[in-house]
Structure 1
């Protein structure tokens, strides 16, 4: 960089010849030099501020786009299922021989939490424990203030429970769509149907799988998306089933029996029209399998197919059949 001298000799001589003060020339050149330095430094500062502004703009744009994506989509639990595997939620209905519904599906919601988004963990834990008495407020508080980023709170909600949670107004408590299995007849034909539960789960869907009975035996058929609209029809007659269970219950109470069982079949086709075992259970709230004691004491025990009994008079069938085969008796005589 070439600097202009503050006191150029030629101008000094000219100023002296005119009788002017040579110091004014130095002050003028010094002011010009300072102004040039100021302009140069200002240009550098403006360039740096421009680059810094671009960086801030890019950063805030990225954050805004990310927040928009998160706000517009439901977050998925990272450990629910393998990446890229779609959860099949459809499950065919089960009907009796007359076309009456034995098992169907009901749309409901699940409740999950994202602790980093919870504003008031203490209040959220207290309110949830009030809505769901089986939950522990202290345990929820520990989960909400810990390092977890996702946790299930409730897998199935009633409409009243969902509204109560919604009224808490906590942004970290979120709902996920669910389709649960519903048995509209309660305990009727419970051992036949068995029951179902959730398999692989995500925040927006859950897989319903059979755990016992018809639900488990025909699980692949019921879960087949291609046959989801095609109900599985059984040979069971709901009316006869209800009558049999009522008769067995009356006899069980009359005889003060531990349990009762019955099977009614069509003599011409061999179809099972009714099959019952008491005590029974409600498959909508299927109890947990027993871990100790006699399994036959559990209502899950199906006395009609799992019980072991003496043949008694049923053995007479074989005696008569052998006599007829040997020609010792003639049924037409």
Structure 2
């Protein structure tokens, strides 16, 4: 197990390095370079030269990359001229909010999707199964921004049950103090995951119901509920637990749109505003953090699968 984890960690480091190289190259492919993108189209040649000299952009690309790589390793992602604040401090402020939003939506996903998938599998090819399958396909295919707009239109504008905007105060305290304003963002972000997780759960339960050990348990006189709870569910949950680790990048991708729709001040909204303002240091920092989270999620998924399923060879 230790050797497997070490190998996966080395692979994770390699993947993150490749991501940083790609992002670094793309940053230097911008028309006019990073200086023109940050200073604007009216910047003079002298201003651009001064900016390049001050930030090391006049040095060879290899030297620039390793200099920036050393800064990224220490948590220094540069300075946002647009916001007049270091990128690291912005990430520290916004990241906890995005993490809480993602965790709450993930909890809601598991609470709804697991029982839903089990019920569909037990009552397969019945009316409820067909309806739930159709809704799952709709929510799985629908864009996040469309779901968010519909949620605001129905539950905020028409019914007036929830605020159309997420809590705007700094810190994570307002998230729980004004939790009614978090309902729509959490549900919007969770609906896509519920659609996918419930389908996986349904398929996993169906695969296990037909196994020999289930027929043996039934032949011994075990009740259907005991067979489901003590035999089928334990093995059927393995793919879902693995998906939890793989869902980290998907949650951030959904959070980017969800936070923009509900004006939730997290990393997703920060990235959206940085893209509109051409604030490339902020975009770079968010992309690197997201790449790191993706690699960590994949590592956790691999290790958890190996721990939960002894049949997996490391």
Q: TM-score, normalised by structure 1?
A: 0.19
- The structure having more radius of gyration, on CA atoms, is 1
Relative to the length of structure 2, the TM-score reads: 0.20
Q: Which structure has more strand as a fraction of its residues? A: 1
